[in-house]
Structure 1
């Protein structure tokens, strides 16, 4: 008896092909959802730093009040935390079909930097929101109450942000500048497709 095997089936045996779905990640690119979440995070973080630096540099004026109306510090922090949680969940869902990590020391450093990004994007807003609640203020998102104010001062909620929020914020800023610089180096110096994976 002769066993007939379809050529297409035979060629697919033992191989794992990236999905054609543009919304999901693939082995050579990040999907539309990953790219949207990435650039949304970038916009929120840059806006957060821009408002803080504007207030520190110029104080209260028409521009800083306008920026603050667009992105209140607490509301932006809450949005950054929410988007980061969604990114982590989406990363886990796509963990078996994402672009592979670069080999060698450079790949290990890049992986460590990305882990640091996620950790900072989680802990920075979480510490700040804990401090806000622990100091007796309600948690609000653009005027909408998310969590009513605490009845008393809660020291253990306030302490982590008092100790770590400012230095970790500047660490995040440094990593972000380095991240942008390396993306541009890959694009214009190495001329590889690293940036294209996330830029589409």
Structure 2
């Protein structure tokens, strides 16, 4: 039987409320980041793009995504012995590698952008509040990694997301193994303990 306290934590049959909230918060932040970016690329300066940019300034969302991902990684580590098991074999290994790649990209991409912002001599601003003052001068080595990789890694992240969604749908529609239900909060047919 699931108790109210157990709803927060992961169990072998389902992901707990904290894991699910962090997962869907990450998804919302990434969708907004790419939504704003694609809107600017597609429409340029337009009332809709300006509204999206006010709701989700790219730098602020990136910093928030970094914090969310770090919290998510800490929570996943603390829950590692309680979580639903990965499928056995190659499928489980691929799922584990995919999730590790997600964490790596969701940390590296915004961290490099923050480093670049500081290296350019600009302050780190979070929804209008200055979190880190500007540097006194440009620092080339801080800008180089993001200049080289930020965009490429972001598109790689988007490709992984498309694959992740496709596999979630495959588990739901073809394999019917309950994996997606565990992230939606519906435990598997076995009883929670």
Q: TM-score, normalised by structure 2?
A: 0.93
Query: For each residue in 1:82-104, what CA deviation from the matched residue of structure 2 results, as whole angstroms up to 9, or x when unmatched?
Result: 00000011111111111111111
Moved over 3 A (4+): 17-20
Equivalent position to 2:126, from 133, 141, 151: 141
Partner of residue 139, structure 2: 154
Q: Is 1:44 paired with 2:66?
A: no
Q: Which has the larger radius of gyration?
A: 1
Q: Distance in 1 between matches of 2:182 and 2:130?
A: 38
Partner of residue 107, structure 1: 92
Partner of residue 56, structure 1: 41
Q: What SS is found at the alignment partner of 2:130?
A: strand
Q: Distance in 2 between matches of 1:156 and 1:35?
A: 37
In the TM superposition, what are the counterparts of 1:111-190 in structure 2 within 5 Å? 111-190=96-175
Higher relative contact order (CA 8 A, sep 6+): 2
Tell me the C-alpha RMSD between the 2 structures: 1.3
Partner of residue 9, structure 2: 24
Query: For each residue in 1:42-83, what CA deviation from the matched residue of structure 2 results, as whole angstroms up to 9, or x when unmatched?
Result: 000011001000101110010000000000000000000000
Q: Distance in 1 between matches of 2:87 and 2:130?
A: 44
- Give the number of equivalent residue pairs: 184
Q: TM-score, normalised by structure 1?
A: 0.90
Instruction: Note if contact 1:18-1:27 (Cα within 8 Å) is conserved in structure 2.
Output: no
Give structure 1 stretches of 5+ with no counterpart: 1-16
Q: What SS is found at the alignment partner of 2:80?
A: coil
Give structure 2 stretches of 5+ with no counterpart: 186-193
